[in-house]
């Protein structure tokens, strides 16, 4: 197996990750259970929408030439009822919003602009009117494409599926993402840490990030700082999961032996260092059709590298081309750093004026900086200062 120790740019790392071949499998799922899944088929309109011409408001349906005449009301048409009478000259039907337009009607007069002149007669109080009709097929024609394969399904798409009767949808299978924490100093969140220990935040942060993509997280547990424990968990995850995420054990310390274990387990390591801060010691490897990321142990590093590299690949495994929403906003205040060798990402908040405020951020272990952040901004390598009011890209999280 091979290992690449050269430090590469974030762009190079992204291209390597997204160049990975993935196998896509599909399954039929009831449309009520497909939120955050990805469509594996096109969905077409099964009829015209609206399926019939209907009134856009409460009012009176009549001929357009008769709007300045006294009109005889011949019928009341509630929503859901088929009109029984055809509109003739000098006639109108009272009609409710969404009700089927009677034959012969060319417009609907708003009820607010009507006066009753007799028990069954009305007069329109204005000179002109809009049609106030939703015409058959004006939204969709039968056979129109409404949702495309590769679409990440959002709540608004569920409404469309219900409308066109797409109650069983072909979607891509959820990839299973195994999560392993490493380190003797780690204890689970329900335990009280000793003086030299910390609670396991990374695993549960990653579980939530995976869940947000719509994939299936599987927490495989914590590996102790020895090769046997880590190797056994990696092999277990290799058998059970499509992708593995490890946190910790990927730096250059004496106990950071994850890359060597990956080689022993048969993975090819495609990169081990990225010229980015935080997250320099991010590792990426493949074995057949299985994928593994070694993420840094510091929680901000782990979070950011998941957003930048892991999330796009998970979406690719789900059949979706992920294009994160990125907006450009001015800085509320100056942002300055001392070391400029690497590209740096930092959490920001958007204030009510639409300006970016860098979070009070002490470094990659400062997990609390993320909890109030709206997004992530970056400063390119070699750049020391982002000036006040300078426009900066921000990726929402």
Residues in contact with 230: Cβ distance below 8 Å, sequence separation at least 6, in sequence order: 180, 182, 223, 224, 246, 249, 257, 258, 261
Amino acid 179: pLDDT:
96
Amino acid 254: pLDDT:
41
Sequence ranges of the domains in the chain: 7-25+173-317, 28-48+139-172, 54-134, 326-396
Amino acid 359: pLDDT:
85
CATH of the domain spanning 326-396: 2.40.340.10
Residues in contact with 195: Cβ distance below 8 Å, sequence separation at least 6, in sequence order: none
Q: Are strands 283-287 and 268-271 parallel, antiparallel or unpaired?
A: antiparallel
The CATH architecture that domain 28-48+139-172 belongs to is Alpha-Beta Complex (3.90)
56: DSSP letter: S
**Rounded Cα distance, 345 and 223, in Å:** 29
What class, spelled out in words, does domain 54-134 have in CATH? mainly beta
**Rounded Cα distance, 56 and 327, in Å:** 37
Amino acid 258: pLDDT:
77
Which residue, chain included where needed, has tokens 């999560």? 179
**Rounded Cα distance, 67 and 59, in Å:** 12
Q: How many residues does the chain have?
A: 397
CATH superfamily of 7-25+173-317: MoaB/Mog-like domain (3.40.980.10)
User: Identical fold at 7-25+173-317 and 28-48+139-172?
Assistant: no
Amino acid 255: pLDDT:
41
pTM: 0.86
Q: What is the full per-residue pLDDT of the chain (397 aa) written as tens digits?
A: 555 568 999 999 999 999 999 988 999 999 999 999 999 999 999 999 999 999 999 999 999 999 999 999 999 999 999 999 999 999 999 999 999 999 999 999 999 999 999 999 999 999 999 999 999 999 999 999 999 999 999 999 999 999 999 999 999 999 999 999 887 787 887 888 888 877 888 899 999 999 999 999 999 998 877 788 888 889 899 899 999 999 876 555 444 567 788 888 889 999 999 999 998 999 999 998 899 999 988 888 899 999 999 999 999 999 999 998 899 999 999 999 888 999 999 999 999 999 999 987 765 556 677 888 999 999 999 999 999 999 999 999 8
165, two tokens: 């009767």
């Amino acid at each position: 197996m091979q290992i690449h120790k050269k430090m590469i740019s974030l762009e190079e790392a992204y291209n390597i990750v997204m160049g990975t071949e993935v196998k896509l499998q599909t399954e039929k799922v009831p449309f009520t259970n497909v939120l955050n899944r990805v469509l594996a088929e096109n969905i077409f309109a099964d009829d015209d929408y609206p399926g019939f011409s209907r009134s856009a408001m409460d009012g009176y349906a009549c001929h357009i030439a008769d709007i300045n005449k006294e009109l005889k009301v011949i019928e009341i048409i509630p929503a859901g009822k088929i009109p029984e009478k055809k509109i003739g000259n000098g006639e109108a039907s009272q009609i409710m919003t969404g009700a089927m337009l009677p034959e012969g009607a060319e417009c609907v007069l708003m009820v607010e602009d009507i006066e009753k002149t007799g028990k069954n007669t009305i007069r329109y109080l204005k000179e002109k009117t809009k049609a106030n009709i939703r015409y058959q097929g004006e939204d969709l024609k039968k056979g129109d494409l409404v949702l495309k394969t590769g679409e990440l399904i959002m709540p608004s798409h569920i409404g469309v599926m219900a409308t066109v009767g797409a109650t069983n949808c072909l979607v891509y299978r959820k990839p299973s993402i195994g999560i392993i924490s490493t380190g003797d100093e780690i204890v689970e969140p329900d335990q009280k840490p000793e003086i030299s220990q910390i609670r396991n935040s990374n695993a549960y942060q990653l579980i939530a990030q995976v869940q947000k993509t719509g994939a299936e997280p599987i927490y495989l547990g914590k590996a102790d700082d020895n090769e046997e424990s880590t190797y056994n968990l990696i092999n277990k995850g290799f058998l059970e999961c499509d992708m593995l995420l490890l946190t910790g054990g990927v730096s250059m310390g004496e106990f950071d032996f994850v890359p060597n274990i990956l080689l022993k387990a048969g993975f090819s390591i495609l990169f081990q260092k990225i010229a980015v801060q935080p997250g320099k010691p991010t590792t990426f490897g493949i074995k057949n059709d299985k994928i593994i990321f070694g993420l840094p142990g510091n929680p901000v590093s782990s979070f950011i590298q998941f957003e930048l590299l892991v999330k796009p690949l998970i979406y690719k495994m789900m059949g979706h081309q992920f294009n994160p929403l990125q907006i450009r906003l001015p800085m509320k205040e100056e942002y300055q750093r001392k070391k400029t060798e690497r590209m740096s990402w930092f959490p920001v908040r958007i204030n009510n004026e639409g300006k970016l405020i860098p979070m009070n951020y002490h470094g990659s272990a400062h997990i609390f900086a993320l909890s109030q952040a709206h997004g992530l901004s970056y400063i390119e390598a070699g750049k020391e200062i982002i000036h006040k009011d300078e426009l900066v890209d921000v990726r929402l999280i």
